[in-house]
Amino acid sequence: MIGVIATLRIQEGKGPEFEAFFTELAKQVRANEAGNAAYQLTKSRTEPNTYKVLELYKDQDALTHHGGTDYFKAAGPKFAAVLGGRPEIEYLDGVG
């Protein structure tokens, strides 16, 4: 299992727009990626405008597939329009 935690800081006032398009992206991921076990958007309770995406993939092939999908690539410009800085991406290896 491979875990990913993506920390995304969103521009002031852009949270609702971000949440709306991310919800649609998550639906596509869940419907089309058998190798994805979790794709959940969360919002920080302590840092305004900060979101974390919690992702789990069964293996590297599933993670690579996710990044190559048309819907993920199409989301790029939408992310660019709302992000308040570079995303921070942390990769994790499953244990047990």
In this structure, the strands spanning 2-9 and 88-93 are antiparallel
d(CA 77, CA 91): 23
Element (H or E) spanning 21, and its range? Answer: helix 15-32
> Cβ(48)–Cβ(15) under 8 Å?
no
Instruction: Give the pLDDT confidence of 53-94 residue by residue, as tens digits.
Output: 999 999 999 999 999 999 999 999 999 999 999 999 999 999
Instruction: Give the pLDDT confidence of 28-61 residue by residue, as tens digits.
Output: 999 999 999 999 999 999 999 999 999 999 999 9
pTM for the whole thing? Answer: 0.92
Strands across the sheet containing 50-57: 36-43, 50-57, 2-9, 88-93
